[in-house]
Structure 1
């Protein structure tokens, strides 16, 4: 279930109340008349089944509510309510199989924003990878994978392509196109200083065992990237976000970028090229699998929207 909050102008209040009252997937409708000050109007709250949340948001947008007020939606993790359970049972589909498009746009849009925090985490992840390579440490490498924020822009690319959102594609492309070069440059400088200080012996790259999989590109590189991309998109479009940790430690993006830098500093251009290819394979695999998974899951919710529109409810089907 999800918590819906609408701050609407007086002219919209009756239409919003009527819409939510007639929707079977809505429970605990509450109206606080006249409490809104900007805009002057009412505050309306309700509990909405996830299966109809996307449809409700589109119908509220069709009424023009977001242009004159505010519509917010957030998941409810714990709720004890017979009425809410009845509302959820009254709608078709399953909550885990429902995509709330606006929620997905907001999540991926925020996670793909290029800022100092994103650059900081990506740089730290690349540096951890360099340390992992120098010490042939899988544990440190896993830490780098978990710290890395690069899955956000990759997911945003998939969402932007499927939703035809050029702004989201551009934002994700900027984050990846600027973030990786900056993180790799910083890592290269510090790795070079480590070599000058005697902390890194380039000849040790030839004897790597535990982390050699980073630059060894093969059929399973693409398989793992595709599976990770599919799992990541399923986690983002459902309530199984805990699965994202497994996604983070499956894709070999930051490890490949960090290894390429260490190999370049060591003058091992063969392994550097192999690691760079691993990076490209993982970026492409995660993005393609994410887009295909999202296409599949979006088709799953179309029949619900079409059925409600034909049933005479306000609003109608529409793209993002």
Structure 2
């Protein structure tokens, strides 16, 4: 599995970028278009890189200043049906399905840490669905609320910030998570108060036995275990670009349902519903963050080790190329005359 890099390189960085890429066995299809970049003025390089080596290559490019002064665009090809692609992957350590491009993970976390109007709308809709699920005791609507809820991206951003030591990112993401949940809960609480004033909803609808949705406000040990598993799976799926697994994460934890139940509890001011829902919400968030951080830290350590090994092999290869064949190598031994 390869990723495609397109680099816009200022003229004074051309030699450094070319030297960085030209002798690297972990990439192929290296192209140099002189003067093709207008902004910034300079050259364009393109290359296909083994996904496992993408982070190391990007680190090398940032080390020469390209990330600050030039342009780096990463694409995922639909397929690479040529022999050199296999050779490139063999030159890199690890498996492409397990590879993490940390620069992309960090960028996605930065985006998620700043909420948009769309994010707030989705969170309010999800919380509203959850509150209706409580009123109607509908397990189907609980699942729907879980799927619609957009909060996991922000949870993953908190995990990324902590795991990478980006404390401002972690703090900004945590603040975003807290105030957006508070906003959605207040909005649904006000809607519930309006519904109660119109005799659409009553306290009995919330406090009566609910065999399908009663678990929402009754946290237990299994709630925390599920949150740990969901946090691990979710962060792993995002880091390795396995988004198909995210649906299972969404319908495993009761963050949004707990928020919907909490909004109703506040509207009728039922202490048991309020404390139970708040505990469920806090337990789910804490479990996912703890598991997500640990998952990213382990991945970071493993891939740092593999990256160092790849860099060491690449340095040895370049050194051998500069020194030429050793005197005892077959290429250096002159044929004997008979």
Query: Shorter chain as normaliser: what TM range?
Result: over 0.9
User: Which deviates the most, 70-79 or 246-255?
Assistant: 70-79
Contact persistence 2:53–2:92 (CA under 8 A): yes
Partner of 1:306: 308
Report the equivalent of 1:95: 96
Displacement after TM superposition at 1:161 (Å): 0.6
Distance 1:174 1:77, change over 3 A: farther
Quote the offset at 1:159 in angstroms. Answer: 0.7
Q: Which of 220, 224, 231 is matched with 1:222 structurally?
A: 224
Q: Which residue of 1 aligns with 2:327?
A: none
Counterparts of 2:90 and 2:310 in 1: how far apart (Å)?
16
- Is it true that 1:281 corresponds to 2:257 in the alignment? no
Describe how 1:206-245 pairs up with structure 2 within 5 A. 206-245=208-247
Output one character per residue of 1:132-189: Cα deviation in whole Å (capped at 9) or x when no partner: 1111111111111111111111111111011111221122122112101111111001
User: How far apart are the structure 2 equivalents of 1:28 and 1:194?
Assistant: 63
**1:171 and 1:36 mapped to 2: Cα distance?**
36
Whole-angstrom CA distance in 2 between matches of 1:143 and 1:81: 44
Inter-partner Cα distance in structure 1 for 2:173 and 2:134: 28
* Distance in 2 (alpha carbons) for counterparts of 1:264 and 1:9: 58
8 Å Cα contact 1:129-1:255 kept in structure 2: yes
Answer yes or no: is 1:165 the counterpart of 2:166: yes
Deviation at 1:239, TM superposition (A): 2.9
Partner of 1:36: 37
Report deviation, 1:312: 6.0
The within-5 A match list for 1:1-320 is 1-205=2-206, 206-311=208-313, 313=315
Secondary structure class of the residue paired with 1:207: coil
Instruction: Tell whether the 8 Å contact from 2:24 to 2:314 is kept in structure 1 after alignment.
Output: no
Equivalent pair of 1:97/1:300 in contact (CA under 8 Å): no
Normalising by the residue count of structure 1, what TM-score does the alignment of the two structures yield?
A: 0.94
Q: Is the 8 A contact 1:126 1:258 kept in 2?
A: yes
> Helix, strand or coil: the match of 2:200?
coil
> How far is the alpha carbon of 1:300 from its aligned partner?
1.3
TM-aligned CA deviation for residue 204 of structure 1: 2.6
**Alpha-carbon distance in 2 for matches of 1:209, 1:263:** 17
Please give the alpha-carbon distance, in whole angstroms, between the structure 1 residues aligned to 2:313 and 2:150. Answer: 43
* Partner residue in 2 for 1:317: none
TM-score calculated relative to the size of structure 2 = 0.89
Query: Is the alpha carbon distance of 1:179 and 1:193 closer, same or farther for their aligned partners in structure 2, counting shifts above 3 Å?
Result: same
How many residue pairs are counted as aligned between the two chains? 314
Give the whole-Å Cα distance in 2 for the aligned partners of 1:4 and 1:167: 29
Q: Which residue of 1 aligns with 2:320?
A: none
* Between 77-86 and 152-161, the greater mean CA deviation after superposition: 77-86
Counterpart Cα distance in 2 of 1:312 and 1:93: 15
Q: Deviations over 1:205-241 (max 9, x none)?
A: 3221111111111110100000000001110111311
The structural deviation recorded for 1:79 is 3.2
The structural deviation recorded for 1:43 is 0.9
Q: Which runs of 4 or more aligned residues in structure 1 lie more than 3 Å from their structure 2 counterparts after TM superposition? A: 308-314
Structure 1, unaligned runs of 5 or more = 315-320
Q: Which is higher, the Rg of structure 1 or of structure 2?
A: 2
Structure 2: unaligned runs, 5 residues or longer: 317-338
Shift, 1:97, TM fit: 2.0
- C-alpha distance in 2 between matches for 1:86 and 1:198: 70
Say whether the 8 Å CA contact 2:157–2:170 is kept in structure 1: yes
